[in-house]
C-alpha cells in the first residue's frame, strides 16, 4: 500500500478534508493508496479535533467519520520518509515552513495553492480540494495503469 501525506498548517481543516476525501476515492477506484495528514504548526487552541467545515463537507459527501476523532498532529521527519507522495496544500504558506522545519525534505514535496479560511470562504476551499484530490486520483490511476502495462 502506497501512502500520500497531506500537509497544511494546523492539520485541522484543509489537510484533514483532503485525507478523508482521498481515502474514500482511492477505495472507490481500487487504488492501492492510503492518505494521512499532518500539520506543520498545529494550533492547540482549535475548538475540538477537526474543523466544522471539514465535518460539514464530509457529511455532505456522506464520508463516514470515526466515532472518536483524532486531534491534529504535527508532521515529523519520519513522515516524509514513509510517504510515497507528500502534498502541502498552499505553497506560499507552507514552502517557508518546510524550509525552516524540514529543509532536507523540501524537494520531495508537491505544492498546491489552496487557500485557508483567511483568504477564501470555506465552500470555495472545499470545492478546490475536491477538484484537486479528484485530479490526483486520476493521475495515480493513470500511473498505476501505465505501470501494470509496462510490467506485462
**pLDDT tens, residue by residue, 115-132:** 999 999 999 999 999 999
Per DSSP, the three-state class of 113 is strand
What ranges do the domains of the chain cover? 2-151
How far is 86 from 88, CA to CA, in rounded Å? 7
SS3 69: coil
pLDDT confidence of residue 46: 83
What pLDDT digit, counting tens, does each position of 3-62 carry?
999 999 999 999 999 999 999 999 999 999 999 999 999 987 888 899 999 999 999 999
pLDDT tens per residue across span 138-147: 999 998 765 5
Over 70: is that where the pLDDT of 67 sits?
no
Whether residue 85 is predicted with pLDDT greater than 90 in this model: the reply is: yes
Scanning the chain, the segments in alpha helix (DSSP H) are: 14-28, 52-60, 77-81, 91-101, 122-151
pLDDT in tens, 88-107: 999 999 999 999 999 999 99
Instruction: Tell which residue, 86, 137, 92, has the closest CA to residue 114.
Output: 92
**Which pTM value belongs to this model?**
0.92
Residue whose cell numbers read 467545515: 53
The DSSP bridge partners found for residue 74 are: 39
Query: 88 - beta bridge partners?
Result: 7, 111
- Residue 44 confidence (pLDDT): 79
Sheet holding 109-111, edge to edge: 33-39, 2-8, 85-88, 109-111
Q: Which residue has the cell 492518505?
A: 35
Q: At what angle do helices 14-28 and 122-151 cross, to 10 degrees?
A: 40
Would you tell me which CATH number, out of the four given (3.40.50.2300, 3.40.50.1370, 3.50.50.60, 3.30.450.20), belongs to the domain 2-151? Answer: 3.40.50.2300
Amino acid at each position: 500500500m502506497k501512502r500520500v501525506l497531506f500537509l497544511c498548517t494546523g492539520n485541522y481543516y484543509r489537510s484533514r478534508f483532503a485525507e478523508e476525501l482521498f481515502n474514500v476515492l482511492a477505495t472507490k477506484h481500487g487504488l492501492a493508496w492510503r492518505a494521512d495528514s499532518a500539520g506543520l504548526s498545529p494550533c492547540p487552541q482549535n475548538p475540538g479535533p477537526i474543523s466544522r467545515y471539514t465535518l460539514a463537507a464530509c457529511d455532505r459527501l456522506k464520508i463516514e467519520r470515526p466515532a472518536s476523532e483524532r486531534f491534529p498532529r504535527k508532521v515529523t521527519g519520519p513522515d516524509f520518509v514513509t510517504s510515497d507522495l507528500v502534498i502541502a496544500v498552499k505553497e506560499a504558506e507552507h514552502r517557508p515552513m518546510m524550509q525552516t522545519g524540514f529543509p532536507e525534505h523540501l524537494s520531495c514535496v508537491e505544492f498546491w495553492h489552496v487557500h485557508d479560511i483567511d483568504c477564501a470562504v470555506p465552500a470555495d476551499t472545499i470545492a478546490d480540494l475536491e477538484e484537486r484530490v479528484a485530479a490526483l486520483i486520476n493521475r495515480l490511476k493513470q500511473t498505476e495503469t501505465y505501470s501494470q502495462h509496462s510490467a506485462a
